[in-house]
Amino acid sequence: MQNAALADLGLAPEWSYEAIDIEPADLVARIGELPALGFAGVNVTVPHKQAALALSDHAGEAAAAIGAANTLVFEGKQIRAENTDAPGLIDALGQVPAGTTALVLGAGGAARAVLWALAAEGAVVSVWNRTPARAVAMVAELGGSVKDNPETDSYDLIVNASAAGLSGGDAMAELPIDPNRFRPGQTVVDMVYGSEPSALLREAARAGARTVDGLEILVCQGARSLEIWTGRKPSLEVMRKAASRG
């Protein structure tokens, strides 16, 4: 999707985007090599987001507050860390009115970005995690409250930011969600994405809830990263089409 956007902007082939597999132990050394190879920056994903922030020289507001970065910018000998996951989520949602009740499922790097983004928009956020202590620690740092047994129909917005379903398993069996209690007027987001809507989103849609899949969030956060590197705003539609083909 990034290469499609670069071509649409007229920046290819001078600019290109590629995937690089890096083991955690090799992250610092490999990132250090990239500027000399002509890289303007990188996206980083699980499990590197917190480590990416730690190796940066300075960080944008979102990355610093969340404690994780998904975007690095090479500026001479300096590395700047940014987090486009948080604003990308808000872009995908369109609007989060102040006072909206939200449930975040998970307590990892993605969940931290979701919690920070929603709280910044004035939402009242609850957090559930399979390991409660991690949720308690995250809430103590970023705000919100912990719910051990959340009631599905009590929330205006539900965001699955956990790893449930990431490896193709049954996310519904791993989450404290009653599919019979989804309702119209809710928005349900699953940050896990695939070629078909997840079981979580299928059940929510069946009940009349609005759904947002992880692919849309991927596109929105990717567009913000690309704009940071190039200074040009890419076409979301071009990126959506390319991402859906992938």
pLDDT attached to residue 143: 95
pLDDT attached to residue 193: 83
Strand 145-146 versus strand 157-160 pairing type: unpaired
Phi, psi at residue 216, to the nearest 5°? -65, -40
Do 99 and 81 share a structural domain? no
pLDDT attached to residue 153: 97
Strand 71-75 versus strand 78-82 pairing type: antiparallel
- What is the rounded average pLDDT of the residues 159-165? 86
Tell me the CA distances in angstroms from 232 to 82, 84, 109, 151, 166, one per residue in order. 17, 15, 27, 43, 32
Cβ atoms < 10 Å from Cβ of 241 = 14
CATH number at residue 101: 3.40.50.720
- What is the rounded average pLDDT of the residues 16-20? 96
Do 68 and 106 share a structural domain? no
Do 207 and 98 share a structural domain? yes
Encoding tokens for residue 107?
A: 């307590």
Residue 181 has pLDDT above 70, yes or no: yes
Residue 164 has pLDDT above 90, yes or no: no
Comparing 119-128, 170-179, 220-229, which segment has the lowest mean pLDDT?
A: 170-179
| 147 a catalytic residue | no
Do 151 and 45 share a structural domain? no
Contact 165, 174 (CB under 8 A): yes
Domain count, the chain: 2
For residue 38, give the nearest of 57, 17, 66, 54 by alpha carbon: 17
Using H for helix, E for strand and C for coil, what is the string for 193-209? CCCCCCHHHHHHHHCCC
Catalytic residue among 49, 147, 233, 241: 49
pLDDT attached to residue 38: 95
Tell me the CA distances in angstroms from 27 to 31, 42, 51, 161, one per residue in order. 6, 12, 8, 24
- pTM, two decimals, is 0.91
Render pLDDT for 133-148 as a digit per residue (tens, 0 to 9): 999 999 999 999 999 9
Do 111 and 53 share a structural domain? no
Single-letter code of the amino acid located at 38: G
